[in-house]
């Protein structure tokens, strides 16, 4: 295919979807260059990113938005083409506590193709196990998620948290990669829910067993308190009102003829 004129190859690639374009990019350097141009024109340019920032006591999972700012930049890395897309922060400076660490625990990638409403997609990526944490924040700072993005910012004149730009690896927008990440997250979520249910089941069982044990021991405790000088409740029946202490039978045997009335 690379023997064909670049103009023809480029025209053919205009009919490929994003997943196919990412696959073609692994074939050769020439196809990588051409496919990356198409990926940007038909896929990445419609993307925006929301990072979820967190600081205990100050902000709870607050989203900070970035929109695409410039065309992707291609550079050589380990004899291969690597492309980054630059995004620009679209919000206001954020008040924060400079004595506490700031973390990013999630990322949402939004594709909003203008062709149809059905083409709008959201991909939510969580960093529950490996959040990006910045313990100390200088006047200029950088937070980085290895292999995905690098966020740059500064502190404004009032000492507020001011993101500026976000550099993203173009492979972060690969639909196949995003689908795989979502599937993995779904599996982990189901596993956590299952473990939670098992823990609740064990706790409920322990509570039920304790309640059953308390119910079993309650009559003997009552009898002991009611008639402390008697042997047991089975030796003589206890009547707290005292209506018939002399006529109460002492036998433990119950005649079979009385069973219907007991269970009726």
Pick the more confident residue, 123 or 238. Answer: 123
- Banded pLDDT at 264 (limits 50, 70, 90): very low
Pick the more confident residue, 183 or 120. Answer: 183
Pick the more confident residue, 170 or 33. Answer: 170
- Banded pLDDT at 149 (limits 50, 70, 90): very high
- Report phi then psi at 166, rounded to 5: -140, 120
pLDDT of residue 253: 44
- Banded pLDDT at 73 (limits 50, 70, 90): low
Please state the domain extents for the chain. 1-42
Q: Does domain 1-42 have CATH number 1.20.1280?
A: yes
d(C-alpha 249, C-alpha 94), whole Å: 83
* pLDDT, average across residues 181-204: 87
Residue 48 bridge partners (DSSP): 67, 110
Residue 215: strand, helix, or coil: helix
- pLDDT one-digit tens code per residue, 198-235: 888 898 888 888 888 887 665 555 455 445 555 544 44
pLDDT of residue 247: 47
Q: Is 260 exposed, middle or buried (0-12, 13-18, 19+ CB in 10 A)?
A: exposed
* pLDDT, average across residues 73-100: 75
Please state, for a pLDDT cut of 70, what percent of the chain lies above it.
Answer: 74
pLDDT of residue 82: 57
Pick the more confident residue, 9 or 235. Answer: 9
pLDDT of residue 67: 93
């Amino acid at each position: 295919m690379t023997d064909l004129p670049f103009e023809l190859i480029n025209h053919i690639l205009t009919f490929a979807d994003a997943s196919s374009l990412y696959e073609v990019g692994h074939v050769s350097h020439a196809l990588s260059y051409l496919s990356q141009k198409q990926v940007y024109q038909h896929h990445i340019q419609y993307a925006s990113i929301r990072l979820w920032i967190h600081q205990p006591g100050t902000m709870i999972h607050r989203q900070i938005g970035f929109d695409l700012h410039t065309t992707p930049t291609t550079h050589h890395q380990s004899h291969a083409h690597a492309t980054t897309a630059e995004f620009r922060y679209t919000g206001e400076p954020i008040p924060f506590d400079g004595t506490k660490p700031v973390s990013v625990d999630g990322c949402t990638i939004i594709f909003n193709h203008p062709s149809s409403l059905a083409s709008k997609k959201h991909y939510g990526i969580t960093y529950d196990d490996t959040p990006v944490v910045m313990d100390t924040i200088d006047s200029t700072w950088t937070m980085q998620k290895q292999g995905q993005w690098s966020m740059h910012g500064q502190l404004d004149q009032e000492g507020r948290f001011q993101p500026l730009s976000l550099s993203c690896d173009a492979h972060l927008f690969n639909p196949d990669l995003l689908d795989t990440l979502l599937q993995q997250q779904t599996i982990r979520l189901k596993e956590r829910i299952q473990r939670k249910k098992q823990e609740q089941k064990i706790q409920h069982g322990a509570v039920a067993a304790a309640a059953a044990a308390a119910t079993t021991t309650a009559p003997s405790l009552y009898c002991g308190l009611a008639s402390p000088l008697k042997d047991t409740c089975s030796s003589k029946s206890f009547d707290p009102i005292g209506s018939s202490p002399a006529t109460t039978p002492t036998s433990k045997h119950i005649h079979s003829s009385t069973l219907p009335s007991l269970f009726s």
